[in-house]
Amino acid sequence: METTFRDRISCVIFDYGSTLTELDAPPEPALGMRPVSAGAVAALMAFRKAGLRMVLASNTKPEQDRRLALRAAGVEDLFSVVLQSAQLGVAKPSTTFYAMAIAAAQSPADQIVWVGDNMRTDALGPVMNGMRAVLVRPFGLDDGEVHPFGVHIVKDVESAAQLIVSHTKWFIV
């Protein structure tokens, strides 16, 4: 039997930023950040239905608490762990931050896929630490960026869910 991408993934780690929010949405004053988008809520539900463990790993300012936005969207309980750099005292792209994320995932690094929007911290960093990566980029690569080997690029987090949950083989890009 051929191994599929889904068969090898046990945890998805998410960035917050433009990964779980709408890029052009204004920050909600009560949250101190942009809210979780409806599309992200649907994608998170698909990941949960597939039985994947979910972790949020986000660089934050001291006054930010991503759990407020997750709670407001009704998805806080879908995450096993929420890692916030301001609370941890270490941020992406530190290898210590990635080690904490891998420990929170409770999975070997090669069974984790990191979903985020930043080339350096959400694609290259995870890959350099043994994880897989899906880069959320509605408009593709920025000028001067090169598509990293093994990193998938999708338009939104819903497309990431389709890629990971649909039993599509993890193919070399």
Q: Is pLDDT of 3 > 50?
A: no
Tell me which residue of 44, 40, 36, 37 sits closest to 12, measured CA to CA: 44
Q: Would you state the CATH architecture of domain 5-165?
A: 3-Layer(aba) Sandwich (3.40)
How confident is the model at residue 7, as a pLDDT?
Answer: 54
Residue 148: its pLDDT value, please?
A: 92
Lowest mean pLDDT among 40-54, 84-98, 103-117, 154-168: 154-168
End-to-end CA distance of the chain: 23
* Span 104-131, pLDDT tens digits: 999 999 999 999 999 999 999 999 999 9
Across residues 59-86, what is the average pLDDT? 97
Dihedral angle sign, alpha carbons of residues 67, 73, 77, 80: negative
Instruction: Say if residue 173's pLDDT is above 50.
Output: no
pLDDT-derived band of residue 8, with 50, 70 and 90 as boundaries? confident
Confidence class for position 1, pLDDT limits 50, 70, 90: very low
Give me the pLDDT at residue 172, please: 32
The whole-number pLDDT of residue 168 equals: 45
- Cis before 108? omega within 30: no
Say yes or no to pLDDT of 4 above 90: no
Residue 42 reports pLDDT greater than 90: yes
pLDDT score recorded for residue 150:
84
DSSP state for residue 78 in the 8-state scheme: G
